[in-house]
Structure 1
């Protein structure tokens, strides 16, 4: 069953965050992860949520999603993101039948 990591990111250091963006794609490959949404232009339709940058990653399984997040491959990029932004992040399983 596919799994998704969803991030709501408030970038506080744009230069460092640009370095993070360069490192992240390579860290996804060993876990068969891919970007579904990378930034975009969030539009509020209901409620008071006001995200500035949304990222959605897709993985084949929840195990692969969690393994990527705690991996040595992602660690350098993760440290950059954490120093350059404030982030809310969740992992959620997708629908088995699409």
Structure 2
């Protein structure tokens, strides 16, 4: 069953965030992950959510998604994201 990780990222240090992107993006492939959404315009249809930068990742399973998120290589990249942005993230199973 596929799994999706969805982030809403509010970047406050674009320079440091670029380092996160440089280090983080290549870590996906070895865990079977792929980008479905990587920024772009977002429009709120219901509620009061005002996302800044939406990123949606797809994995073949929740196990792969969790392995990627907890991996040493991603955690190294994530340290740059934590310093450069405020993020909200969820993981959800798909169909």
Shift of 1:4: 0.3
What does residue 89 of structure 1 align with? 89
CA distance in 2, matches of 1:70, 1:15: 24
Aligned pair count? 95
What does residue 61 of structure 1 align with? 61
Q: Which runs of 5+ in 1 are unaligned?
A: none
What does residue 29 of structure 2 align with? 29
What does residue 16 of structure 2 align with? 16
TM-score by length of 2: 0.96
CA distance in 2, matches of 1:56, 1:24: 14
CA distance in 2, matches of 1:93, 1:22: 27
More helix by share: 2
CA distance in 2, matches of 1:25, 1:8: 16
Q: Which runs of 5+ in 2 are unaligned?
A: none
What does residue 49 of structure 1 align with? 49
Shift of 1:51: 0.6
| Runs of 4+ in structure 1 over 6 Å off | none
RMSD, aligned CA: 0.7
